[in-house]
Structure 1
Amino acid sequence: MTDPFLAAPPPDSPYYLRALTDMANRRAVVTQDAIYTDNGVKLVEKGARIDSRLYDRLVQHKLREPIDRHLTIENAVDVPALMAAGQELAQESALPQLLAQALDGSCDRLLQPLRSIPLPEPIACKLTVMREQRPDLFRHSLQMMMVAVFLALKSGLGERDCVSVAAAALLHDAGVLHMDPSWMDPHHKVQGAQRKHLVAHPITSMLMLQDAGVYPQAVAIAVLEHHERMDGSGYPRSLPGADISPMGRILLLAEVVTAFYEKYTDMSAQRLSLMLRLNHRKFPAALVAHVLPLLQEDETRESALVPLGADAPAHIDTLADAFAQWEQLKAALPLAVRQEPGGVFAFADARLQALQKALIEAGSHPGQQGDLLEHLQGDAVGLAEVALVGREALWQLGSIVNACYRRWPRLSERASPAEAAVADWCERALERL
């Protein structure tokens, strides 16, 4: 893989330019310098008002420099605005309150590093576009920042390092502004070129931070690593845990914790606890140890769990089908093909074996649950717990499918027997998920 640290700053994408110019319809955005194309043609005069009418002109040309180097924005995001937004989020959301209770009962320590984060104008512009055009992403970034600071404090990091952690977490998804917003729709399936863009967004975010020139290199590295995993199954570089920076480890766990609380409004703590325990090889154990004690079952556990029980048989059936089909495909291939180093079949097989091992260790493999379901009839909570494990396992199954397509983007072409087998399995799995 080409060294991402040697790449040039990413050009402004049509999606970012659309978001920026649409925002400019509602608040004053003025050029403080003229804007030129990369071949020296002046597109916009100094002092001009930007709005959506300029979108077509801007998007047709490659700009000499990122557009947000040349803009002044009315009511742009600054440190006081971030503090106010963080305090509002802390009052509304369960996760910051949970973290605060584990500290001193106040969110002040979680927000304190924001006061020292440098915000040069291009970064402030991106955060303003995020706040105005992608408010869910803005809230996600703030909430993840608080989780990351919590983990940093629990790890004994000093004030300066906590500021770096806060900056990395706040800006980790800046690259998402350059992606098609449709991918954030929970019903939208990312595929093809969109999958490449999704994998690339940590690189885009990292390049933006490098281009700003005010953040330590450790911040850019951590942003690049926020989707890596300790077992090497993450992206964009598939780093093993030993090669992931300490700050990167904080971010990758903070991202998952935040995402679970945003995705699941019911039983967030229990779902997250289960996921972390089933996937203990993916996440840094020392940091997970600071999270698990927070995720105690609450008094509403039984009433919240009960409705899930009806899903248990379907989850078990889907998992059993996926595992059985894989074994059939595996048996049909020569051993040399199955074990080809660096091949897609060996990759998928290793991931599936790891998932099955985790389920066996948890007593939740489909092969272990036939008699269990019969035994649990009438036990609504027991059935619901089985369903919860099954739901998490299906999510892991989907992540294996996505990883195969991500690493082998031409997998669907079935260029070899191994690729054909994996593509067949992925398509069957997606039909059932």
Structure 2
Amino acid sequence: MEADSLAVVNHHYLDRVVTAAEHHEIETSEDIYTENGIKLLAKGARISPSVQQRLIIHKLKKPLESCLQVSQGVDANRLIQIGQTVIEDNPGLAPLFADFGLLPRLRDIPLNPAVVNMLTVACAHDPNSLRHYVLVTLLSLGLGRRLKLTETELGVLASAALLHDIGELYIDQRHLDRRQVLTPEAWRHVSVHPVVGATLAGEVCGMPSEVTEAILQHHERGDGGGYPRGIAAPNLSRAGRVLAAAEMIASLTEHGAYPLERAEVALRIVPVEYDPVLVSVVSQALGEARVSEYQMPDTEYVQDMHALLRKIAVGAEVLGRCRAEVGQHGEACVQLLARVEARFVLIQRAFSSTGLDVVTDKPHFDALIGDASGWLRFELSLVLREIRWRLRELARDLALRASLQSAAVAAYFQPLVQLLHDG
């Protein structure tokens, strides 16, 4: 998203503003002009469906987001109220929340009119979005305190965490439905939301570059396998690395039990993805909160392991064939394959490091595991699930990047995408 594209009103964002205006008074804070100087709306005009079309069809002299004010919008008290609920509802995260005085820090986040506008519109569209923002903020602060970040660094982290997903206000809601399998075209729209969010935070909300940088990086990974830019660890900011971990933990918290246990496995399954210091912090927190018994998932371990082993073996064969012929598709395609191979090898090593790739049958598995603790068996189920998820992530990344090159390249890699995603 280029900065000057803010002159064009995003219709997904405007749809959400109009929806929010059904519950809040949202009006213009100044006269709104087209880029040619034609006055569209006077200061104090209410936002409603009747003005929506006028705003959509014109380029504006100043971003619409900077020209709106909302009455009785989200404020610090609302953030603290949500934060208290988040803490009470997630006892499994207590080690990251406890004894740090996190809630009062929500008052220190600068809530200027543009920030209030963004948060209020997001909440009006989906109340769970604001809860997610606050959860990520508290997790970021909890991790930051354990890392002994400075007060300035914690302030940057809090602002970035609260605004990290505002770019999703500009995305078609259908693409944000987790129940849907995204096409490469849909994923292309979703994957740009950190860029949009960073632009909004800087150009509209007036946040400093340290905040916008962290927002831009909150889906990046240390091995360069993240998005939107595939930046590797040496070039990631500390705030960006912490925010990425907090976002991942929040996602696990919102979609299942035992969030710290699952996060600890996810953080270390591919060692170079996340900052080792962050992995250590989460492992330490887990040690303070680990329960004595785990509800075991209903799974056939040996069957799952063999299916995963077959997928990895076939994947290695397909990659080998691609390596032998990819040159005919051009240098960009060669580089894409190298990226995929590097990440695939890391996932392959993660599976091999468990020792489970040598298990031949159930008696062999039972002999290997023996009277292992409930935690070890539970951890095994998490590892298998996490490796499958990593393969699906790789499939999604490959499908997107191949489609950006050409239809022919996308078709060439489609069998590999299908294998990695579905097996």
**TM-score if structure 1 supplies the norm length?**
0.86
Per the TM alignment, residue 124 of structure 1 is displaced from its structure 2 partner at its CA by 1.0
Aligned twin of 2:283:
292
TM-fit CA distance, 1:97: 3.2
Q: Is the 8 A contact 1:308 1:384 kept in 2?
A: no
For residues 181 and 216 of structure 1, the distance between their equivalents in structure 2, rounded to whole angstroms, comes to 29
Amino acid at match of 1:370: T
Mapped contact 1:24–1:52 kept (Cα < 8 A): no
Matched residue of 1:376: which SS?
A: helix
**Whole-angstrom CA distance in 2 between matches of 1:200 and 1:156:** 31
Tell me whether 1:309 sits opposite 2:306 in the alignment. no
Which residue of 98, 111, 115 maps to 1:119?
111
Paired amino acid for 1:189: V
Q: How does 1:254-273 map to 2 (within 5 A)?
A: 254-264=246-256, 266-273=257-264
Offset, 1:240: 1.5
Query: Which of 387, 396, 412 is the aligned partner of 1:393?
Result: 387
- Unaligned 5+ segments in structure 2 are none
1:407 is matched with which residue? 401
Closer, same or farther in 2 for the Cα pair 1:426/1:373, shift >3 Å? Answer: farther
Q: CA offsets, 1:133-159, max 9 Å, x none?
A: 122221111111111111221122222
Matches within 5 A, 1:47-62: 47-62=44-59
154, 177, 194: which is aligned to 2:169?
Answer: 177
Q: Paired residue for 1:322? A: 311
SS in 2 for 1:122: helix
Residues 127 and 391 from structure 1, CA distance in 2 versus in 1: closer, same or farther, beyond 3 angstroms? same
Q: 2:366 corresponds to which residue?
A: 376
Which of 139, 143, 151 is residue 131 of structure 2 equivalent to?
139
The alpha-carbon deviation at position 410 of structure 1 amounts to 4.1
1:247 aligns with 2:239: yes
**Which deviations, in whole Å up to 9, do the C-alpha atoms of 1:179-217 show, x marking residues without a partner?**
112233221122233212222111111111211464321
How many Å apart are 1:332 and its aligned residue? 3.4
Task: Check conservation: 2:315, 2:420, Cα contact below 8 A.
Answer: no
Cα displacement (A) at 1:270: 2.4
Say whether the 8 Å CA contact 1:16–1:177 is kept in structure 2.
yes
Q: Structure 1 CA distance, aligned partners of 2:262 and 2:9?
A: 38
RMSD (Å), alpha carbons: 2.7
Identity %, equivalent residues: 28
Counting matched residue pairs gives 413
Question: Taking structure 2 as the reference length, what is the TM-score of the superposition?
Answer: 0.88
1:371 aligned partner, one-letter code:
D
Hey, what's the Cα distance between the residues in 2 that align with 1:194 and 1:53? Answer: 30
Partner amino acid for 2:27?
A: V
Q: CA deviation at 1:373?
A: 6.3
Show the counterpart of 2:41.
Answer: 44
Deviates more, 1:238-247 or 1:331-340: 331-340
Moved more, 17-26 or 158-167: 158-167
Of the three residues 172, 189, 201, the one matched with 1:209 is 201
Contact 2:96 2:143 in 1 (8 A): no
Is residue 165–residue 247 contact of structure 1 (8 Å, CA) maintained in 2? Answer: yes
Structure 2 equivalent of residue 189 of structure 1: 181
- Which residue type is aligned with residue 401 of structure 1? A
Q: Which segment drifts farther, 241-250 or 340-349?
A: 340-349
Which amino acid is 2:387 matched to?
Answer: A
- Distance apart, 1:406 and its partner CA: 2.6
Q: Distance in 1 between matches of 2:416 and 2:116?
A: 45
Q: Give yes or no for contact 1:401–1:426 (8 Å, CA) kept in 2.
A: yes
Show CA shifts across 1:296-322 (max 9, x none).
431331xx11x3323x34533442342
- Corresponding position of 1:161: 153
Deviation for aligned residue 1:99: 1.8
What amino acid is the match of 1:368? V
| Distance change (3 Å), C-alpha of 1:51 and 1:213 | closer
SS of residue in 2 equivalent to 1:295:
helix
